[in-house]
Structures are given as structure tokens and as C-alpha cells.
Amino acid sequence: MIRHGARYGTEDVTVGSILPMRTRFLVSMALIDVLLMAAAVVAASVIAFGAVLPWEAPRLGAQVIPLVGVLAGGVIVTSLATAGMSGPGVPRPSYGRGVAIVLGTLMLVSVTQFLFRYYYSLLLTVWTMGLFSAGVILHRFVRRLRPWTERLAVVTSEKHLADQLAESDHVEMAGVIDPQTESDLVPLDAGTTLAVDMRAVLTDRVAQFVSSCDIAGFAVRPLASVYEEHTGRIPLVHLAEGWEITTPLVRTSVFLPGKRLLDVVLIGLTAPVWIPLMAAVALAVRVSSPGPVIFSQRRIGLNGQPFTLRKFRTMYVGAEDDGPKLAKENDARIVRGGAFLRKSRLDELPQLWNVLIGDMSLVGPRAEQIPFVRQFRRRIPFYDQRHLVRPGITGWAQVNFRYAESAAETIDKLSYDLYYVKHMSPMLDLQILWKTVWTVLTASGR
């Protein structure tokens, strides 16, 4: 049953539900960035020319107005252009997007100056962009200290979905309504979103409550969509026959050739980094224990086809002579230094060859062993849907979940894999790659 809340006035509800939470967040971020640019222009003018407004400075005058306009307009244009960097889920104050806005604004200033030849003050631009960059970073630092939240009331009998939602950083759970209740329900607080489990059979009382909330102006949304946005997972119990995953994939299939090209280009550009790193890791594996440096194993890839995957060996030779086992966090089969290689993902480096020859991608679901795939196909619905795309060295599941040590955890990990298959995009790939780089640099993998 939902907990009691204050009654509301119509005007309060309308204001709270005019814009979706995602839109309100992105608009507020953009508005503050524009104000930061205005403050940076003023501060730069005072520092460089001793005038509060740059066009009041004797050395500049009105001729500087076009430059100031492009600086301010650049923030708006780049904010709109980078809105997609937030990904398909809940938007967050990202440093990466902040850097993109700063660089995009600088690029726009350069391009427009080249085309229109308006007055350009290097001193004013340098001071403005320096101060604006500091403001952008500080803005995001402050916003990340206390993440914004969406107040949710959930109509469901699936307790585990409600519990996982409640654990999200961006959810304030107002309560859970039993879809079979006949009790009176108290009106929601202003600004609350009602998430309704479309699989649940509602009593007349609950159905009337849902309709009343919709008429009153509250946001009423399917629980599956809200869960997906806030957790970055697909609620498997809400899938019917798997077409919910394949249909969105058809729409994103135009991205696949570009994804393959991006893989090859990134590997080529980063070769000066990963080639010496591979040599160092190979030496470390060689001295850690007797046996080959490279471990090869047959795995399942695109469309369920097997291929040979290569990794740096992190286990003793013969560790799986008695049959394959799922890797564990403190696995006794791991050699000295192997745990670090796994945590930092450095053991995955030889898979760059698998990417170059087309067996894998840089980003995608983890390639699993053939015996496990056969087992999971029988026990886990929709497991084969993860094979609709090339497996990846890293992926959405890998950066959000630890090693799966049981069938139950494999199901949890599958919910992340299917989210990636459904929402695959260049921006999501870049987000995953950045998280992976951070994992490598900090050895914070799980």
C-alpha cells in the first residue's frame, strides 16, 4: 500500500508534470552553463580590460559584440548537440559532456571567425574559456554531490523490481501499491510519477486510482520503461517472445558498419599504448607461473557461431581439466598477479586480435564458453538474444556488474546485456569505453 501523502492543488501538479524529469534536468544544466558563460565573459573583461562589460572597454567597443554572441550561442548549440551523450537512461551531470561543450564552443568560435571575419580578441577568449571551463567542472562536481531524484509510486506485485528501483541513486520511492488492494488510496504528492506494472491485474479501485492520477496531470508510465531508465537493465519478466529486443536492434542496424570501422580505427590509433602494455603483461604472466602466456578457448559469438577467444592466462595450467566452472571473485585457480589482471581488465588485451579479424567488437556482451551457453539456453529465457550482436572485450554488463558466479547472477547480467542490445549506439559505446578505461587506470573492476 502506498504511504499517505499531502493532498495537492491542481496548479501544483500541472507545474510538476509539464516537462519530463529528463527534459527538466537537461534544460536546467544548459541554463546554468549559459549563466556560467555570461559570468565568465564579465570576469574575463574585468581581468583583461578593467571593464565589467567587454564592449565598454576602450580597446574593444561594440566590435567585440559578435564574439561575445558566438561564445554565448556556442554553449546553447553544443548543449543541444551533446544532449544524446546522456544515453538512453537517466541523465547525469557528466564531466565528459562538459568537456564536449567546452571544446564544441571553441570549435564554433573558430569556424564562425574563419567564415565571417568578425573582430576576435585572443585575450578575452582565453580568459573566458578558462574561467568557463572551471565553472563547468565545478557545476558538475556540485550536481554530482547530491544526485537529482524522481519521486516514484509503483503499482506492482513484483517486489524485487520495486526493491531494485528503490536502490537507484535517482529514485525516491513514495510507496508501492498492491494491484489487488481494495483499500482507499491517498492522492499522490505533487511531482510524483506513477509507474504501473502492465502485467498486473488491477482491481477496480486501483484502476480508478491510476486513471484519476492520469486525469489529474500526474505522469503515469509503464513500470518496465521506468525500471529500464533508472537501472540500465531490461526487466526480463516483462519480455514476451524476444521481439522487444530484436525490433529496436533493426532500427540501430545502420550503426553496425560504423561500429566495425570505429573498432579498427581505435585499435590502430591506440597501438602505441597497448602494444608495449601487452609486452609488459606477457612478461609478467611468463614469470608468474609455468605455462603458456596466451590462453585460447572456444566461445560463442555473433548469431551463436563459435570462435576462438584469446586472453592472457590468469589461471594455473589444467585449472579446468575437470570441467569448466564460472569464475569467482576469489578463485583458487588464479595465479599470482592474475587477480590484478582481471580487475584491471588487462587480461583481455589479446582479444584486440579477435576484434581486428571480426570475431568480436570492442563493446558488446561477454563471449561465454560453449558448455555454459548450452546450459543457459535451456534454463534462462531469451538468453540467445545477447548473440544478436558481436561479443565485446568490454560491455554494459561488465562495467555495471561483477563476475557472475551463479545462474541467478547470470540472469542479472543478462538484463544488462539485453539493455545494451536494445539501446546500442555510438554514445553508449563511448560511455562504456570511458568506464572501461577508468577501470583499467584504477584497477577497480569487480
When mean pLDDT is compared across 50-59, 243-252, 268-277, 429-438, the lowest value belongs to 243-252
* pLDDT at res. 329: 62
Q: What are phi and psi of 311, to 5 degrees?
A: -140, 165
- Tally of structural domains, the chain: 3
pLDDT at 23 over 80: no
pLDDT at 269 over 90: yes
pLDDT at 58 over 90: no
Assigned domain for 9 exists = no
* pLDDT at res. 443: 62
Q: Which residue has the higher pLDDT, 200 or 146?
A: 200
pLDDT at 8 over 50: no
* pLDDT at res. 326: 65
When mean pLDDT is compared across 15-19, 99-103, 431-435, the lowest value belongs to 15-19
Shared domain check, 355 and 292: yes
- Across the range 288-313, mean pLDDT stands at 92
Shared domain check, 159 and 123: no
- Could you say which of 103, 125, 145 is where a domain stops? 145
Shared domain check, 218 and 204: yes
* pLDDT at res. 427: 81
Assigned domain for 158 exists = yes
Q: What is the C-alpha separation between 427 and 420, in angstroms, rounded?
A: 12
pLDDT at 267 over 70: yes
Shared domain check, 362 and 287: yes
Assigned domain for 238 exists = no
Q: Which residue has the higher pLDDT, 100 or 12?
A: 100
Shared domain check, 387 and 260: yes
Helix axis angle for 95-116 and 122-145, nearest 10°, is 160
- Across the range 377-405, mean pLDDT stands at 88
Shared domain check, 153 and 139: no
* pLDDT at res. 74: 94
* pLDDT at res. 14: 36
Assigned domain for 12 exists = no
Assigned domain for 14 exists = no
- Across the range 137-146, mean pLDDT stands at 90
Domain containing 179: what range?
A: 149-229
Q: What percent of the chain has pLDDT over 90?
A: 57
Shared domain check, 281 and 223: no
Shared domain check, 312 and 261: yes
3-state secondary structure of 348: helix
- Could you say which of 99, 116, 145 is where a domain stops? 145
Q: What is the C-alpha separation between 44 and 434, in angstroms, rounded?
A: 33
Task: Pull the grid cell for residue 58.
Answer: 576602450
- Smallest CA-to-CA distance from 169 within 242, 100, 56, 93 is with 93
Q: What is the C-alpha separation between 333 and 324, in angstroms, rounded?
A: 12
Shared domain check, 408 and 376: yes
Q: Which residue has the higher pLDDT, 300 or 341?
A: 300
* pLDDT at res. 360: 96
- Could you say which of 166, 195, 229 is where a domain stops? 229
Q: What is the C-alpha separation between 364 and 388, in angstroms, rounded?
A: 10
- Across the range 76-87, mean pLDDT stands at 82
Shared domain check, 155 and 136: no
What value does the mean pLDDT of the chain take? 86
Assigned domain for 2 exists = no
Assigned domain for 50 exists = yes
* pLDDT at res. 327: 64
Assigned domain for 234 exists = no
**CATH value at residue 184:** 3.40.50
Q: What are phi and psi of 389, to 5 degrees?
A: -130, 165
Shared domain check, 325 and 205: no
- Across the range 234-242, mean pLDDT stands at 84
Q: What is the C-alpha separation between 355 and 261, in angstroms, rounded?
A: 11
- Across the range 243-265, mean pLDDT stands at 84
* pLDDT at res. 13: 36
* pLDDT at res. 86: 67
pLDDT digit string, tens, across residues 147-175: 778 899 999 999 999 999 999 888 999 99
Shared domain check, 371 and 308: yes
Q: Which residue has the higher pLDDT, 323 or 24?
A: 24
Q: What percent of the chain has pLDDT over 70?
A: 90
